[in-house]
Chains A and B, each alone.
Chain A
């Protein structure tokens, strides 16, 4: 696979943001999430702090029940915290309303799911265009940008194929193109290789590496150590708190290893 070198950096700074070395892209301070189950309260997150700077490549690890998914949902603006402060790209999002959150998800976050979540009836190109529809982009520009995103994941020649006509790896690449097409602040991948064999997983990790080198901020939620080892930083969660936050000294470079 030869990622297109001509691609421009896939993110333009949001006009709302005033990024400097001091203000991180993600700034989470004392974040709590409490679920009420009948009479008992379950604390999924108990005062989590996390800062992620522009351009970082972070893996979030933790066993099931650790609060890892809750944190991911909060970072992805799919949910609101019970308590605490979350600033994304210069904007306080922890107490925004539903429609505002939808707008943030559309503009600032690119989701990559374990099960790809492509629309079966739509072609690869139409799937990639989808976020731009909710951004209200006119058809001609939509098509152009979707093609550009497909070129970045090296699938432009499959633009008119439906998901059923693509391999698992290709489907995940379409999903990644869909996540990139709005030029989001962060790429948020939830077990992106969970449904793929190891060769295909490596293909996806090469792609992440390339996107990282182009300046994208990537967060990968995973429970697999060899996937996390590709990141530059590993954040471990246990019992709703950050248990460890380590810099990876020698990250695995997918492009140079053999499967």
Chain B
């Protein structure tokens, strides 16, 4: 009980001593904690942007439907150049999609399409749009793509069968070609072919950097209409909607069916990609984690640089106060008391750096949110915790040696020190 009270009394004393020293040496302290300060800002900044970025990707992916399955021959999230065996994969066929619809009981709706991504120009009278995505899809795509018709209607089964020259345009296309009028029943020209606009869709969520959602720049025509003009294109993508609650089973059925149809041997990996909202988020998370690792290394470097600065200044502090240490020991300070005194000082230094970094980081992130309102910055709790724990740890680790050095001083020698 008595020793507990003593501990408490000493903690109080050491904290107020450390605060006094910090305040007395404001400028020196500030320079000392700069490294820790920067380390914390790196952590908070990267964690916030990454967390926000991820959240926005999750929102976007989930907007397309959490029950959807995407099938394509190439990976959805690509980092760097693909290896040869992936680049050589055979395209998916229209018949594959038909087979899925017939043979996979857990799949409710099938949409299979072709798309031209580059070099497309859309024109209407004087207006022109460069680079929309030109896509041929079945009528079921309305359901699968979770598009909402804003004006007009979607194309029908009959229009698809008769290869009618009709199209449904997404938000950005409407904005570009029809700034002042309704697009419905107007005739537009897409890469030299004329189509009648029968409907337009609502705007989708913007991407993490405020960039437009790719899906807002799509011109959809019936699949067979598209084939009429581009009979040689065969690089199909397939989008499926699983029956409610049967997503995993549907993925399994589709995978097995495609492996059989594409002749993949039992011991070989899939030569196609099957993705869901979750698997897309997971593959994005790999990028998130890679970035986090880089952040971890950078902030660790900043913390170490900061820590060396703290150690340096603590050694100076111990030397400056040699006589004071001698006095404290002569009137009853024990080794542990002196260690505690200087560790408290070091931890207060780095902890202050950490808190200042957190505050400035928060301000910077709020500023960033003002400049780029669509960039969803959200500082995650783990980012703050990591930054704070990191800065305190730096104080303990790099303050330990100077504190031990102080505690080991011989009181007689220390009292004689001038």
**Residues of A in contact with B (beta carbons under 8 Å apart):** 73, 76, 78-79, 98-99, 102-103, 105-107, 111, 113, 117, 119, 121, 130-131, 133-139, 178, 182
Contact = CB atoms under 8 A, between A and B. Distances in A.
Contacts of B290: none
A79 B412 contact: yes
Interface string B306-338: 000000000000000001101111111111110
B9 A102 contact: no
A142 B72 CA distance: 78
Contacts of B12: 139
Contacts of B9: 133, 136-139
B contact face: mostly helix, strand, loop, or mixed: helix
Contacts of A138: 5, 9
Given A78-B411, A133-B10, A106 B20 contact: no
Contacts of B332: 102-103, 105-107, 131, 134-135, 182
B125 interface: no
B321 to A, nearest CB: 9
A117 B323 contact: yes
Given A117-B323, A138-B5, A102 B412 contact: no
Given A130-B328, A133-B10, A136-B10, A99 B334 contact: yes
B24 interface: yes
B15 to A, nearest CB: 12
Contacts of B324: 119
Contacts of B2: 136
30 contacts: A73-B412, A76-B330, A98-B334, A99-B334, A99-B335, A102-B333, A102-B334, A103-B332, A103-B334, A105-B329, A105-B330, A105-B332, A107-B332, A111-B331, A113-B415, A117-B415, A121-B24, A130-B331, A131-B332, A133-B10, A133-B13, A134-B6, A134-B331, A134-B333, A135-B6, A136-B3, A136-B6, A136-B7, A137-B9, A182-B332
A85 B371 CA distance: 78
Contacts, number: 69
A76 B411 CA distance: 11
Interface residues of B, number: 28
Contacts of A105: 329-332
A138 B7 CA distance: 11
Nearest to B326: A117
Contacts of A98: 334-335
Nearest to B331: A131
Given A73-B412, A121-B24, A134 B330 contact: no
Nearest to B10: A133
A106 B5 contact: no
Nearest to B336: A99
B5 A136 contact: yes
A133 B338 CA distance: 13
A191 B131 CA distance: 93
B20 A78 contact: no
Contact of B327 (A79, A102, A103, A117): A117
B336 to A, nearest CB: 8
B29 to A, nearest CB: 15
Contacts of A99: 334-336
Nearest to B16: A126
A135 B2 CA distance: 9
A73 B101 CA distance: 96
Contacts of A103: 332, 334
Contacts of A78: 329-330, 411-412
A148 to B, nearest CB: 17
Given A99-B335, A133-B10, A121 B330 contact: no
Nearest to A133: B13
A111 B330 contact: yes
Contact of B10 (A113, A134, A139, A182): A134
A238 B60 CA distance: 92
Nearest to B3: A136
Contacts of A106: 331-332
